A and B are shown apart, each in its own frame.
Chain A
Amino acid sequence: MTFNTSIHPSTLREAQPMFHTDAIDRRDAMARIALLLGATALPAEAFAKSLRGNEPFLAAGQFALLSAVADTVMPATDTPGALAAKVPARLDVMLGAWAAPATRDAIGGALVRIEDAAKAKTGKSFAKLNAKQREAVLRPHDAAALAKTGKPTTSGKFPFGSYIPVADPGYLRLKTLIVDLYYYSPEATATELVYEHVPGKFEPSIKLTPKSRPYLGVGPF
């Protein structure tokens, strides 16, 4: 299964600039309204239109699927979720501006396999399911896709992370992007991990309290 079968061919075009200043205010406003309404109350396709501006990479149906998957991986709980952090729209931009064809294929293939799982289990498109049904489809899919299939290898690149092969590498890439984009957002850093762009001081020893939250890393340390 290649990505070309899962997205509209007309969407395969040159990358657009990351930000259109006039468009971003509108998108922000729409996103805020969406948040006020409660993320799950708004159909996924409305998000497609509200968050991406004028030049989306994915076709509407695929974007709705991506949005539904992102919302299921990182839903709003006591803290905002992937939709509030504009993960689908930011990932859509990355598919257009960052991903090589092989990556688009891998991520697109992962989305198609989720869609296939939804149809096999419920007879419906993943994006048409309610939150509970989506979780019931994605949870076993996630566990199977991330089953380890080999031994860890260490990267030669600083800071030398180690990587373990899994059953569905495309799904791992998709989920990693959703999780990364979620945490690297003002919404997540206001409520989950802490990010200080200019810490000022280095304090080498801090006592943890029940209220302490870990810092979001940037750079090697």
Chain B
Amino acid sequence: MFDAIVIGSGMSGGISAKELCERGLKVLLIERGKKVEHVTDYNDTQSPWDLPNNNAVPEEELARDYPVQGQCYAMNAATKQFWVKDSEHPYITPEERPFTWIRGYHLGGRSIMWGRQSYRLSPMDFEANAKDGHGVDWPIRYDDLAPWYSHIEKFIGVAGTKENLPQLPDGEFLPGWELNDAEKLFKASVEQNFPGRKVIIGRNANLSQAQPHHEELGRTSCQNRSICERGCSFGANHSSLSSSLPAAERTGNLTTVTDAIVHSLVQDPKTGRITSVRVIDAKTMEGKTYEAKVFFLNASTIGTAQILLNSKSEANPRGLCNKSDQVGRNIMDHMYALSTVGIMPDYPKDSYYRGRRPTGIYIPRYRNVTEDGGDYVRGYGYQGAVVRRGGMPDAGTPGLGQDIKNRGREFGPWTAFISGFGEMLPNPENRMTQDEVRKDKWGIPLLNISVGFSENERKMAKQILADGRAMIEGAGGTVVSQSTQPGPPGLGIHEMGTARMGRDPMTSVFNGFNQAHEAPNLFCTDGAVMTSSGCQNPSLTYMAMSARAAHHAAEWMKEGKL
């Protein structure tokens, strides 16, 4: 018997495993996908011409096997191995309420391909539901999580600058990347034209300066390649493979199984405790059962709720820990792809930069903070950059030979693009359910996932685009293109909320220690537990909750309470 079982090896599971192992627990880490190895399984040493088909996935294969995953910006020939084949892992989603489920089933999960943007939620985010009445109140406040944010930032390495903003608390930062000359001008004009708004460097989990505790794990400083999603052989960005799992392994307490699909959890109806987890070998279809004293669900927002729903029993006909009927509900993402692109004709023509910086600029939320939000609640931030046009000439412009080469050699104008990330409200009708008929090849019911934007989000989306235009034009730019609506829910890859935390067992699934109301030895620290979504990229919060919950679980085990 293991002390602890962690289900899922991605962003949050890697940290859960590490933190539990470091506290002396014997941990079994269960990953549903294949084993992949740090460095040897990456395609990051290849120059562009060394990659097949100019780094494009064959068109028919893309259409057949990756119709959903292919919508993600980071999907290409070099990263193909890190995305699920939609053809092998189907789900059902209605045409009028589509959910774009971006997934990676392999050791390390999406922590290999993630965007690395790392922001703390703020006190106002944890108070938002209580204040405006949407969803239920968070059972924790910012101060509960603040030390754990620090703990994670130090461990993973987050580069950033201190800004002293109440809506985006500072953290334990490595030196932030620098703005280029055009971004400095853009920052100055936005901050002057719109007092209260800030343009800062994106806070990213790349090692601007590796510290000794990073180097101990074989991680080195970032080389500014910006091909992070291929996996980084320098270990310069945090992933389970580069960082949390090596830290867990060096304790000698970690056992990992891959190709192990969790079917369900087994609960003792008398004590409420989880006794074991049922697993199906992905290749042989063989069933296995593993036992432990404590269980951590880190299977990702949708995956975790799927396990709970599939753990039906006579005592729990609606699924495990689901007396509240909240499991699978309240799916949130961030509104995504609300982008504005502008040419900045007056920015310095003799200035350039060198290296591919692995982050962009960030405009922290200001609506319903320093500026009124008008007819909607909550807010949004922007990610973007100001880059120098030039380089690859556009083949769509008429011309041949020397014309094309001349255009390629020209340094064009600076181009600003900013793209909003808008907060979605928890809505119980945005939900996933098990299909009553169709099953996957392991006999697990397929999921129906149905998500739509509400009136609040539609109003906010309009404002995101209007503000984007105003900031670029206010900085002297000419808007050359702009989206008209957000991408489909899910494409932001910040899905969360399917088994929310709360104070009341009748309206929530996990408590303020990420402990199930209905199963004292079951914890969840992935996106499923998010009570609201904020507008910040959420991975840092999952990791902080993982460390905090692991700490409490280990303490309670020592004290004999678990």
Contacts and interface: CB of A to CB of B under 8 A. Distances in A.
Interface residues of A, number: 72
A142 B404 CA distance: 12
A79 interface: yes
A147 to B, nearest CB: 8
A45 interface: no
A221 B352 contact: no
Nearest to A154: B481
Contacts of A139: 400
A214 B411 contact: yes
B131 interface: no
A185 B484 CA distance: 36
A212 interface: yes
Interface in A67-96: 72-75, 77, 79, 81, 90, 93-94
Interface string B401-425: 1101100111100000101000000
A206 B393 contact: no
B397 interface: yes
Contacts of B487: 156
Given A159-B73, A204-B181, A218-B227, A172 B395 contact: yes
A201 B224 contact: yes
B411 A154 contact: no
Contacts of B410: 214
A129 B480 CA distance: 40
Contact of A156 (B47, B229, B337, B411): B337
B400 A205 contact: no
Contacts of A175: 395-396
B49 A185 contact: yes
Contacts of B56: 94, 98
Interface string B176-187: 011111000000
B287 interface: no
Interface string B349-365: 11111111111100000
A169 B223 CA distance: 39
A135 B481 contact: no
A160 B60 CA distance: 23
A77 B544 CA distance: 57
A208 B63 CA distance: 43
B289 interface: no
B345 interface: no
A203 B352 CA distance: 9
A177 to B, nearest CB: 8
Nearest to B487: A156
A162 B482 CA distance: 9
Interface in A165-216: 166, 172, 175-181, 183-186, 192-193, 195-208, 212-216
Interface string A45-75: 0000000000000000000000000001111
A181 B54 contact: yes
Given A74-B401, A202-B178, A204-B180, A160 B481 contact: yes
B341 interface: yes
A205 B347 CA distance: 13
A169 to B, nearest CB: 10
B390 interface: yes
A203 B53 contact: no
B47 to A, nearest CB: 5
| Residue of B53, B387, B410 with highest tally of chain A CB at under 10 A | B53
Contacts of A180: 54, 392, 395
Contact of B341 (A160, A177, A207, A212): A160
Contact of A200 (B223, B352, B402): B223
A74 B225 contact: no
Interface string A13-51: 001001000000000000000000000000000000000
Contacts of A152: 480-481
Interface in B478-496: 480-484, 487, 491
Nearest to B350: A208
A12 interface: no
A164 interface: yes
B223 A217 contact: no
Given A73-B404, A199-B224, A202-B353, A184 B49 contact: yes
Contact of B355 (A79, A202, A214, A220): A202
| Residue of A73, A93, A156, A175 with highest tally of chain B CB at under 10 A | A156
A142 B398 contact: yes
Contacts of A97: 52-53, 58
Interface in B345-393: 349-360, 385, 387-388, 390-393
Contacts of A179: 392-393, 395, 404
A202 B391 contact: no
Contacts of B12: none
Contacts of B225: 197-199, 219
Contacts of B405: 74, 77, 79, 192
26 contacts: A18-B52, A73-B400, A73-B404, A142-B399, A143-B398, A152-B480, A152-B481, A156-B483, A160-B341, A160-B483, A164-B396, A166-B396, A175-B396, A180-B395, A184-B54, A186-B47, A199-B224, A201-B354, A202-B177, A204-B181, A208-B350, A213-B409, A215-B354, A220-B226, A220-B360, A221-B358
Interface of A: 15, 18, 72-75, 77, 79, 81, 90, 93-94, 97-101, 103, 135, 138-139, 142-143, 146, 152, 154, 156-160, 162, 164, 166, 172, 175-181, 183-186, 192-193, 195-208, 212-221
The 3 closest A-B pairs by CB, nearest first: A214-B390, A162-B481, A158-B73
Given A208-B352, A212-B352, A218-B48, 10 more contacts: A72-B401, A90-B49, A142-B398, A175-B396, A202-B353, A205-B180, A208-B349, A214-B408, A219-B227, A219-B229
